[in-house]
Amino acid sequence: MSNAGRANHRSPTIGLLLGLVLTLGVVVSYSWYITRQITGLRTLQTDLADRNRRESLQLLRIQNDLNQLALSMRDMLDGGEPYPLSAWAVPFDRIREDLADALKRQEAVALARRTPEQAQILAHSVAQFWDASDRMFAEARAGREGEAREQIRLTLQARQASLSTTVARLLVQNNEAEADVAQQVQRIYDRVQRQAYLFLAASLLAITATSLYLIRSNRRLFAELALLSDERRDVAQTLIATREATLREISRELHDEFGQVLTAMGTMLGRASRRVPDDSPLRSDLREIGEVAQGALDNVRGLSQSLHPSMLDELGLESTIEWYVSTFERQSGLSVSYERIGKPLRVNDQTAIHVYRVLQEALANVARHSGARRAHVRLRARGGSLELEVEDYGRGFSPNAGRRGLGLVAMRERAALLGGTLDVEQLAAGGTRIRLRVPVKAPSAVA
């Protein structure tokens, strides 16, 4: 995929942030709504319900006072009572005070507010009752018991019955107000329930839309990553193949061209030396030049083998590994042991060169980073796979600590090109183990 094509894809961050803001907005709005509704319910259920209960208590108190007045008037009209009518003035005064207090409290907590006309009629009826009561007791104190009883029968009982009817009507209104409060609470519950369903639906819709957008964006990103990974693997394979071809060509040039030139120079120097008298100083110089040419030839051959060992093509991977381990041990001064496990396997040239390069890089890491004085190389054939292990017994290193070296990256790339894996493990006793595991297609045993 080209850079221009990748640049056309917008980042999903903006869409995801919008989805998050929308979801948070819905949650905050619903929380505010629920808080408000709960506050309203608390007001109805605590304040109004409590006021309704207190009003009911006051109305019952008023009704009880009126009933006491009715009973008292019935006893006053009973001719068998030994007490004069004036003796009932004290109970009437006590009921009068209690009734006035009850009416005052009931007015303060009443839910169904009375109109000014209704309040005036109730107050006028109460005042008329107590005026008639005062006149009745005045008649009784003047010794006119008959007129007083007649006042009770004709006026007081009628006014008490009217007041009882009014209080009963207030009790009915109170019950209706209580029912209305219950209906309001139920309506709020229903509204909250509907809003809860709407909130759940909106939240699910927002979450679903955000999730679908995230899934779509992730699928697109993973597809791009997979394509980039394939492109990277193709580039890495091309680079590694080009590098190996270049190293092979340089190795061949060094071995064939420079090696032959140096060999010819050595031969010519030897032939020239034999033509010079033994006691000639020139013979010593030619011998010295011949030794220098031989040293250069040995260095060229060593460099050629290091770049691309010819024995890898001639003798195979196992012999090359054994040769390289001994060569590395001699050059680095480290003690390196080599162990071969399983039957020999013949591998193709591509597998052989990649396994050999991994061995080179792993032993180079041991020499550069581990601080170990000894290492162990193990080559194991197991089923249809080939395993190469390189262990050191030094301080080890963490592949994730600090800047990652190109050597480890190259080893992983070579393992991936062969369809294998490369694992870097920290040993419990100290040190590092690098394990390369690659499949070997159609292995054939070597006798």
Note the pLDDT tens digit of each residue in 351-371: 888 888 888 888 888 888 777
- For the chain, what is the largest distance between any 2 Cα atoms, rounded to a whole number of angstroms? 185
Contacts of 408 (CB under 8 A, 6+ apart): 361, 365, 399, 424
The pLDDT value recorded for residue 428 is 74
**pLDDT mean over 341-350:** 79
Sign of CA dihedral 51, 56, 58, 59: positive
Residue 44: pLDDT band (50, 70, 90) is low
pLDDT greater than 50 at residue 343: yes
The pLDDT value recorded for residue 371 is 74
pLDDT greater than 50 at residue 80: yes
Comparing CA positions, the residue from 183, 164, 206 lying closest to residue 19 is 206
> How many CB atoms within 10 Å of residue 226?
10
Taking a C-beta distance cutoff of 8 angstroms, is the pair 269, 293 a contact?
yes
The pLDDT value recorded for residue 398 is 53
Mean of pLDDT over the chain: 77
Check residues 353 and 118 and name the one with the higher pLDDT: 353
Residue 7: pLDDT band (50, 70, 90) is very low
pTM of the model: 0.49
Domains of the chain as residue ranges with CATH: 3-215 (1.20.1330), 310-439 (3.30.565.10)
Contacts of 73 (CB under 8 A, 6+ apart): 152, 156, 157, 160
**pLDDT mean over 58-69:** 87
Task: Give the DSSP letter of residue 385.
Answer: E
The pLDDT value recorded for residue 180 is 79
Q: Which of 109-123, 312-326, 431-445 has the highest mean pLDDT?
A: 312-326
pLDDT greater than 50 at residue 443: no
> Which tokens belong to 59?
């109305």
Integer Cα distance of 264 and 269 in angstroms: 8
> Which tokens belong to 70?
């009715």
From residue 38, how far is each of 30, 31, 33, 50, 95 by CA, in Å?
A: 12, 10, 9, 17, 43
Contacts of 389 (CB under 8 A, 6+ apart): 376, 377, 378, 379, 380, 433, 434, 435, 436
pLDDT greater than 50 at residue 445: no
Taking a C-beta distance cutoff of 8 angstroms, is the pair 80, 110 a contact?
no
Residue 111: pLDDT band (50, 70, 90) is low
The pLDDT value recorded for residue 273 is 72
The pLDDT value recorded for residue 94 is 92
Angle, helices 281-307/259-274, rounded to nearest 10 degrees: 160
In DSSP terms, 336 is beta-bridged to: 375
Torsion angle (degrees, nearest 10) of CA 400, 401, 402, 407 = -50
Lowest-confidence pick of 19-23, 39-43, 320-324, 395-399: 395-399
pLDDT greater than 80 at residue 12: no
Integer Cα distance of 412 and 24 in angstroms: 45
Taking a C-beta distance cutoff of 8 angstroms, is the pair 137, 152 a contact?
no
Q: Is 442 left (phi over 0), alpha (psi -120 to 50) or beta?
A: left
Query: What is the share, in percent, of the chain residues with pLDDT greater than 90?
Result: 2
Half-sphere exposure of 40 (CA within 13 A, CB side): 16
| Amino acid at position 313, single letter | D
Per residue in 229-285, pLDDT (tens digit) is 777 777 776 777 777 667 766 766 666 666 677 677 777 777 777 777 767 777 777
Taking a C-beta distance cutoff of 8 angstroms, is the pair 365, 407 a contact?
yes
Integer Cα distance of 301 and 343 in angstroms: 31
Taking a C-beta distance cutoff of 8 angstroms, is the pair 438, 355 a contact?
yes
Taking a C-beta distance cutoff of 8 angstroms, is the pair 135, 148 a contact?
no
